[in-house]
Amino acid sequence: MQRPEKFLQAAKEGVVTVVFKKINTDEIRIMPCTLNESISNGNAIVKDTDPKSEHFAVWCLDKNAWRSFRANTVVEWYEGEPK
């Protein structure tokens, strides 16, 4: 994953879209997510996350649930809703 520190900051401030490969199927997943408490309706109450982590947990906006992904499966990420 490129720029994990910037990813975490962007996710805390608003919506971020992560494009990654699912581990079991290699299917590409496009996931709008956040770590922002108000956008997640109080669900994404987050302590400091280590940018060197291999796993990231985020509030998934299209599933309304916590989801995680591995940093080494990320194809790209960008700020905002899916393109």
Domain of 18, CATH number, reads 2.30.30
Split into its structural domains, the chain has a count of 1
- DSSP class per residue in 10-51: HHHHSEEEEEEE-TTT--EEEEEEE--TTTTTT--------T
Q: What is the pLDDT of residue 50?
A: 85
Question: Which structural domain, as residue segments, surrounds residue 62?
Answer: 4-79
Structure tokens at 79: 């700020």
18-77 tens-digit pLDDT = 999 999 999 999 999 999 999 998 887 776 778 888 999 999 999 999 999 999 999 999
Q: The whole model's pTM is what?
A: 0.91
Cβ-Cβ contacts under 8 Å for 79 (sequence gap 6 or more) = 10, 14, 15, 16, 17
